[in-house]
Amino acid sequence: MTEKNKILVTGADGFIGSHLTEKLVRQGYNVKAFAYYNSFNSLGWLDSSPKEIKKEIDFFSGDIRDPYGVKEAMKGCDTVLHLASLIAIPYSYHSPETYVDTNIKGTLNVLQAARELGIEKLVHTSTSEVYGTAQYVPIDEDHPLQGQSPYSASKIGADQMALSFYSSFDMPIAIIRPFNTYGPRQSARAVIPAIISQIASGKEEIKLGAISPTRDFNYIDDTVDGFISIMNSEKSIGEVINIGSNYEISIGDTVNVISEVMNKKVEIITDEVRLRPSKSEVERLWADNKKAKELLGWEPSYNGLSGFKRGISETVEWFSDSHNLSRYNADVYNI
């Protein structure tokens, strides 16, 4: 991958996409950022990017569900990092059709345009949610896929569509499967920002859903490095690759780590509205990241309990800034 190559990042305005876009620019890549069109003329998290970063980005506003706009955005690009998707699990119970349109049909639009334009490399973004509750741990890439929510079902569909284009048309496609990424800018719908924003707002009683499930939390910097490693590796073509920390921790213990880092004592209150339907809750996620290490030479910098605490500290620092915290409403739970 050379500097002259142009990279399109779909979903560049989101949590992971904005961090990835900024790092690519810092590393000297020529980047086009596909952001979701809206009447507020907002570029999402890229609005708050440093001026020296923003001036290097070629912005494109559109909708991943529009095949014509998607193809237009991809013209002149060599590589596509496809992150655009609907990700909120609770909202997928409410409006499942939008997940099919955005995640499956949107991915199909990217694939069709990539095929027609002869894109040199396409990295499609999956999620650890496609595994459902672990049948064995740690979870490797051969673990069965289980659509336990409309969101995860739509991502399974998108993943399989991407793999079908690799098999059918020999397209240069790789699939990155990040486990639970966290860090600055993450939506408060996610559990770590939900905990931090409530504590930072002065609350001593923290409203949460289930606290027994375990997760493999991956700090944003490690996830971004995973994307870049997969993008640059010829060995990743045709492969699904887990990007995870290989460290498992329960939501309850996550609260303890955060309260320790923030030096606050808190009590957990079960908020019924935050509970998933019982058969839909993913009880256990724990990544096997051997494939990423062996194939890419990638490994997490924020690994184990000490790495998790370091990542939490950096996340807390960001959320503790009053300007950043003001973007969140700790009193309201949005699906």
**48 shares a domain with 144:** yes
**Confidence (pLDDT) at 327:** 85
**190 shares a domain with 169:** no
**223 shares a domain with 197:** no
**Confidence (pLDDT) at 243:** 98
**Confidence (pLDDT) at 189:** 85
**Confidence (pLDDT) at 1:** 44
Distances in whole angstroms, Cα of residue 302 to Cα of each of 9, 193, 219, 284:
25, 18, 7, 20
Strands 217-219 and 180-182: parallel
Range of the domain at 89: 6-181+219-243
Contact of 142 with 91, CB cutoff 8 Å? no
Angle between helices 106-117 and 67-74 (to 10 degrees): 40
Contact of 175 with 107, CB cutoff 8 Å? no
**130 shares a domain with 86:** yes
**188 shares a domain with 175:** no
Assigned domain for 335 exists: no
**201 shares a domain with 106:** no
**194 shares a domain with 123:** no
**Confidence (pLDDT) at 335:** 65
**11 shares a domain with 139:** yes
Q: Total domain count for the chain?
A: 2
**262 shares a domain with 176:** no
**149 shares a domain with 91:** yes
pTM above 0.85, yes or no: yes
pLDDT in tens, the chain (335 residues): 444 589 999 999 999 999 999 999 999 999 999 999 999 999 999 999 999 999 999 999 999 999 999 999 999 999 999 999 999 999 999 999 999 999 999 999 999 999 999 999 999 999 999 999 999 999 999 999 999 999 999 999 999 999 999 999 999 999 999 999 999 999 988 999 999 999 999 999 999 999 999 999 999 999 999 999 999 999 999 999 999 999 999 999 999 999 999 999 999 999 988 999 999 999 999 999 999 999 999 999 999 999 999 999 999 999 989 899 888 876 777 66
**232 shares a domain with 170:** yes
